[in-house]
């Protein structure tokens, strides 16, 4: 578990921490049930309730189970899809400050623009959970 869910309102606490660490444009509840990716932004998913199976990397990608307390960083250009989730699945998504997300589906017409966008996306300035001293950038490479 990367985040503490013991407080009275975990979603609000998570959103507050994300914003304090430079991640915003946050949303709650749901990962699309179709393959998609963002060419203009990295994304963080923070699960605060239930569980889901999410596929990362497109049709042939890995499948990971995520549960309450898990944090997943999705670099720009990495496809993701919700395969199934419990009825109580709760997740918050956010993007590094200054990165406006788009949505791409892996269609041929999206390239080369999407590839060019991905190449220009800067690394986040801070770990979304632990801030500037957090482990994200050390593990990124």
Q: Does residue 107 belong to any structural domain of this protein?
A: yes
Q: Does residue 2 belong to any structural domain of this protein?
A: no
The ranges of the chain with pLDDT < 50 are none
Q: Which two tokens stand for residue 88?
A: 């109580």
Q: Does residue 5 belong to any structural domain of this protein?
A: no
* Residue 3: predicted pLDDT: 84
* Residue 1: predicted pLDDT: 72
CATH at 97:
2.60.120
Phi, psi for residue 34 in degrees, rounded to 5: -140, 155
* Residue 29: predicted pLDDT: 85
* Residue 111: predicted pLDDT: 92
| Number of domains composing the chain | 1
* Residue 54: predicted pLDDT: 99
The residue range of the domain holding 69 is 10-140
Which pTM value belongs to this model?
A: 0.94
Q: Does residue 29 belong to any structural domain of this protein?
A: yes
Q: Which two tokens stand for residue 132?
A: 């500037």
Q: Does residue 1 belong to any structural domain of this protein?
A: no
Strand order in the sheet with 90-96: 23-28, 90-96, 43-49, 71-74
């Amino acid at each position: 578990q990367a985040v503490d869910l013991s407080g009275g309102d975990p979603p609000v606490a998570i959103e507050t921490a994300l914003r304090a660490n430079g991640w915003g444009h946050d949303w709650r509840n749901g990962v699309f049930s179709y393959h998609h990716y963002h060419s203009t932004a990295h994304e963080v998913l923070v699960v605060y309730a239930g569980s889901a199976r999410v596929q990362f990397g497109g049709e042939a990608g890995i499948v990971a189970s995520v549960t309450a307390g898990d944090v997943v960083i999705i670099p720009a250009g990495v496809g993701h899809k919700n395969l199934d989730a419990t009825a109580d699945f709760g997740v918050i998504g956010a993007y590094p400050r200054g990165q406006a997300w788009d949505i791409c589906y892996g269609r041929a017409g999206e390239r080369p623009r999407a590839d060019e966008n991905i190449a220009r996306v800067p690394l986040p300035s801070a770990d979304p959970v632990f801030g500037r001293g957090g482990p994200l950038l050390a593990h990124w490479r």
